Amino acid sequence: MTKNVMIIGKNTTNQQLLEKFINNLGYGSIRCDSVDDIEEILKENLMISLALVDISDFGVDLARQLKILHAGVTTIVIFKQKSSIHHPSFNEIIQSAIVLEKPVRMNQLAAIVKEVVEQSIQQEAKK
């Protein structure tokens, strides 16, 4: 069953907090601190239900990887600053993702994670 949540971002402290948060919800976490990490995970063909992505400080390379993840039926949640300007290559991903403005309410994030991961497990079971 797919219970993996990919955590993508460059802020080490936030990454660690999200990793602990996801693990406390009972799901596995796969941490990616760079675009190269994402490429390696994609090569491993791991089943990923959800990707939590802080797009701060990322550019077009991340947008390409997110398109690949999304094409593989991975739901994407993007964290962004309310007034932040993102690279135009993110526009397509943002339109198809769940976007949460920082600071993120953890109870809201927990509800989204549980719903998406459980739906993924149910869909996988039907195959």
Query: Which CATH number covers residue 86?
Result: 3.40.50.2300
Q: Looking at residue 85, what is its pLDDT? A: 66
Which is nearest to 69 in space by CA: 77, 81, 80? 77
**Total structural domains within the chain:** 1
Which is nearest to 38 in space by CA: 16, 70, 81? 70
pLDDT tens digits for 28-72?
999 999 888 888 888 887 788 899 999 887 878 888 888 888 887
Whether the predicted pLDDT of 15 surpasses 90 = yes
For every residue of 38-99, which 3-state class applies, written as one string?
HHHHHHCCCCCCEEEEECCCCCHHHHHHHHHHHHCCCEEEEEECCCCCCCHHHHHHHHHCEE
pTM: 0.89
- The boundaries of the domain holding residue 26 are 4-126
Q: Looking at residue 88, what is its pLDDT? A: 80
pLDDT tens digits for 69-104?
888 768 999 998 877 667 788 888 888 899 999 899
